[in-house]
Amino acid sequence: MKNNMNLLMMLSCSAVIFTACSGNPKTTDSTVKDSTTVATQQIPDSANFGADVQGQQVKLFSLKNKNGATVAITNYGGRIVSLLVPDKDGKATDVVLGYDSLKSYQKKGEPYFGAIIGRYGNRIAKGQFTLEGKAYQLDINDGVNTLHGGFNGFYGKVFSAKQLSASQLELTYISKDGEGGYPGNLTATVVYTLSDDNALKIEYKATTDKTTIVNLTNHAYFNLNGAGSETITDNVLQINADAFLPVNTTLIPTGVLQPVKGTPFDFTISKTIGKDINTADEQLKNGKGYDHNFVLNKHDLTTPVATVKSAVTGITMEVFTEEPGLQFYSGNFLTGETKDGKGGKPYPRRSAFCLETQHFPDAPNQPAFASTVLKPGQTYHTVTIYKFSK
């Protein structure tokens, strides 16, 4: 747990405009079904997000910079709705999945598109943990486990929104003692900052009045070919991690830190996401693809922990973080059954990937993992940056 950490990287934030809108054998799966860029080229209509939810006003906010990048964020779940960055031809390309209206984000089974995840990102075995001698039971919302905070996770909460400056949006949510089974009144603050070098910084802070656990992240679904393109298996990925966390059949870590060398999980050298995704491997079978936490070699904001590139758009994304883990999810449970994505597009299986920076899954039950305990008087503080170039 990092408490009161000093930022090790400063971002240029000048000239950014902020507006609150009112109104088997080894095989591969790298064949591109649709390599065309299908960017919306504009953020959704803000009128589709204006509503009273949980007694608070939901809005769509946007940040723009002088280089043509735009980020649309709603305070419902603190979600990144759109993220438009210039491609190799200068065309604004939306690289995150999402919906055109608030109503779609509220539907049952929605896959956390772009959401702030809390109190605890990822899984906790059987929704149980013991803290200071007291046993706690959380919501069970993922088979026999708790996932992403349970039924009362931050993804479905309305955050209060505040403009800090022309370049920043601050979102705050107070999670009450006992919500979802978690102890303590937790005040969580997330600040989004878009810089002129096309970097989106997400800064998380939290305090509590009772000892609790916290593990915040963002669940953006990326496709660097453009949101709505049919596959991400041709996106080229590199992860700066020599080990990953194997999981059991319910996706709880076994506690082993397994070297990636000689496995389909070796992304130390860049390769397409689809190169080894269909390899006959027990871990890939458990996750129905990649859905695993990588143990980062370095996590101090000075070196990218992951880099992704699209040959279609020429867009490169670098990820920087202070977190020790990176959950790489290859969109295995997307179905494409409905055409309710932005612009009426379906989102089929493996049409997006997630790179969720976080502490390790089930850390409250695995003493060998870095602690996620937060005590009164301490401040949880961590930064993640997604930087785009062409």
Any known ligand binding at 291? yes
Is 322 part of the annotated catalytic residue set?
A: no
What burial class does residue 234 get, using C-beta atoms within 10 Å of its C-beta: 0-12 exposed, 13-18 middle, 19+ buried? buried
Determine the Cα–Cα distance for residues 348 and 322; give it in Å rounded to an integer. Answer: 32
Provide the residue type at 376 as one letter: P
Q: Which of 219, 292, 299, 359 is catalytic?
A: 219
How many Å separate Cα 351 from the centre of its chain? Answer: 15
Provide the residue type at 117 as one letter: I
Structure tokens at 65: 């910079």
Give the closest residue to 199 by CA, choosing from 390, 13, 1, 361.
13
Any known ligand binding at 148? no
Is 292 part of the annotated catalytic residue set?
A: no
Any known ligand binding at 20? no
Q: Which of 170, 230, 323, 356 is catalytic?
A: 356
Within 59-208, residue ranges assigned H as helices are: 102-105
Determine the Cα–Cα distance for residues 340 and 342; give it in Å rounded to an integer. Answer: 7
Determine the Cα–Cα distance for residues 336 and 333; give it in Å rounded to an integer. Answer: 10
**Checking phi first, is residue 289 left (phi over 0); if not, alpha (psi -120 to 50) or beta?**
left
How many Å separate Cα 390 from the centre of its chain? Answer: 22
Structure tokens at 261: 């060398």
Any known ligand binding at 188? no
Active site residues: 219, 356
Binding positions for beta-D-galactose are 122-123, 219-221, 291
